[in-house]
Amino acid sequence: MARDGTAPLERVGLVGCGLMGSGIAEACARAGLDVVVVETSAGAMAAGERRIDASLQRAVRAGKLDEATAGAARGRIHTSTDLADLADRHVVIEAVTESEPEKLEVFTALDKLVEAPDAILASNTSSIPIMKLAMATQRPSQVVGIHFFNPVPVLPLVELVTSLLTSDTTVERARSFATEVLGKHVIRSKDRAGFIVNALLIPYLLSAVRMLESGFATEEDIDTGMVKGCAHPMGPLALADLIGLDTTVAVAQSLYDEFKEPLYAPPPLLLRMVDAGLLGRKTGRGFYQYGG
């Protein structure tokens, strides 16, 4: 037990094994934690497992892990399609699609299922106010935002987002979990749509889309300008493809709903691309083509 009488956060649950959920699961397993990941179907779970396996093998090829360490980490990740298998977890991190109704449904269910009275219920949301999710539970003081960045095993940053009702104990436990257990660098954010990073990043991405939409410059020239002229590791349109254009729209819409500022409004081109299923890297085509 910790000095405050709470259990150490050793058993981790993940809801969702997409791009972010699989990365969080891997990071937790590599830190020596016991991980249970839940997906909605066997097919979605199999895709998530392939993503984890591929990521671990990349780490081995890059010399970041040896085969034995990667195998041990993989052995700590258990999978399920039943939320009830998260009942014994000390911390559960929701990482489903960036949809407020879906996230609210998950938090309502977790509140009824997770047994430990001091368990932390966290969201990896990149934009939805934590207060909304907390009020879907009977334990709002134990709900917090722990927002990771993709690729989770590589990028060191975590945004820790607290609502008006998040307790000091929950804040300290979540901070300690992210920094001391996972080795991440934590920045603290107030509970407002977009938090710190996306409140700055999304208008930048949308501005690039508007520049392309207006015919002012090509995709390649926009991205090359920021990479070669501003030393960004990736141009804004390539970055939007990496994030996922559907996720970019969802975050932008959340920001616009809260602040009603035009710079947050998704441009028509971006909306049409999402309607067409051109979501970026995960579908093989966005602003650029990927794969064969």
> Active-site residues: which are they?
126, 147, 159, 198
Cα-Cα-Cα-Cα dihedral of 18, 224, 206, 99, to 10°? 0
Whole-angstrom distance, CA of residue 52 vs CA of residue 56: 6
71-107 residues labelled b (16+ CB within 10 A) or e (exposed):
eebbebbebeeebebbbebbbbbbbbebebeebbebb
Q: Which residue has the tokens 């987002």?
A: 161
Cα-Cα-Cα-Cα dihedral of 85, 128, 27, 78, to 10°? 20
List CB contacts of 55: < 8 A, sequence separation 6 or more: 22, 23, 26, 151, 153
